[in-house]
Amino acid sequence: MADRKDFEVIIIGGSYAGLSAAMALGRSLRNVLIIDSGLPSNRQTPHTHNFITQDGEKPGAIAEKARKEVLQYPTVKFLNDLAVSGRKTEDGFTIVAQSGEQFEARKLIFATGIRDIMPDIKGFADCWGISVVHCPYCHGYELRGKKTGIIANGERAAHLSSLVNNLTDNITLLTAGKADVKPELITKLDRHNVKVVETAIAEIEHHDGHVRNVRFVDGSQMAFQAIYAAVPFAQHSHIPAALGCELTGQGYLKIDGFHQTTLEGVYACGDNANMMRSVANAVYSGNLTGAVVNKVLTDERF
């Protein structure tokens, strides 16, 4: 429970982006409250990659170390709770937590990430982040050379197939329905020996999250060691939209070059506003957002 109720900045989301923003603000002596529910989207992922100095580290270990470092700054407070609503006030914003506590702030930073929407495939969610993954940059090196499936269709199928083809020459594109791909992509897939299976998927058979087989609705099955999947997502928090922040056509929070949303005084960083979904990018965008918000607060006072 936070001792004070009014802050210069409330950061909703206390993972990599939120903590990075808090560090930048804490080092400028800003009174900051971080509200976090403790459910990051990568909680099943065993290791973080493509992030120098932390390559191979457990995501939770990075977040825990970051939290300890950030909370050494005395003006930064942390509340383990879920922000459930917010409203604009004359002087800033009010945020209400699930516990019923209310907090005031002049500025808001949303570092709430996104929520992956799992397909109705048995076993899919159990493997998500372990052997069914979204990103070749985050996981591809560890899955190199493996017998790999790609659950995707349309433009996303083309994008993933080209990237994964550099990591393994044993790929099957699983469109889970009629392939909606351009003829030129079919030609490329054929040239690179990428098979296309259009049959709908019933189940991903696995052992402790590690893929063994994909079983199709017609009873047939194929063995795989790894699967990439393009899944839809939703904003993890509904508060920005409720406040009036606009979304892009892809579903991300719309921000300008300084990470301000379309609502003055509200900023966003990390996965909720950027399709480059990685720990390294979250840290960068949070650091930039914290610095920008500090500059805005400085200009308002000085």
The residue extents of the domains of the chain are 6-116+232-301, 124-229
**Tally of CB atoms within 10 A around 165:** 18
Q: How confident is the model at residue 2 (pLDDT cuts 50, 70, 90)?
A: low
CB-count exposure of residue 178 (10 Å: 0-12, 13-18, 19+): exposed
Q: How confident is the model at residue 211 (pLDDT cuts 50, 70, 90)?
A: very high
pLDDT the model gives residue 205: 97
Helices 16-26 and 279-301, axial angle in degrees (round to 10): 30
Domains 6-116+232-301 and 124-229 equal at CATH topology level = yes
Mean pLDDT of the 93-119 span: 96
pLDDT the model gives residue 149: 97
Mean pLDDT of the 281-285 span: 96
pLDDT the model gives residue 10: 98
Its CATH architecture, for the domain 124-229, is 3-Layer(bba) Sandwich (3.50)
CATH 3.50.50.60 for the 6-116+232-301 domain, yes or no: yes
d(CA 35, CA 46): 24
Alpha helix (H) residue ranges in the chain? 16-26, 59-70, 124-127, 136-139, 154-164, 183-191, 239-243, 279-301
The per-residue pLDDT of the chain, averaged, comes to: 94
pLDDT the model gives residue 285: 97
Residue 203 scores a pLDDT above 90: yes
Residue whose entry in the numeric block shows the structure tokens 């965008």: 285
3-state DSSP helix/strand/coil % of the chain, to nearest 5: 25, 30, 45
**Tally of CB atoms within 10 A around 103:** 22
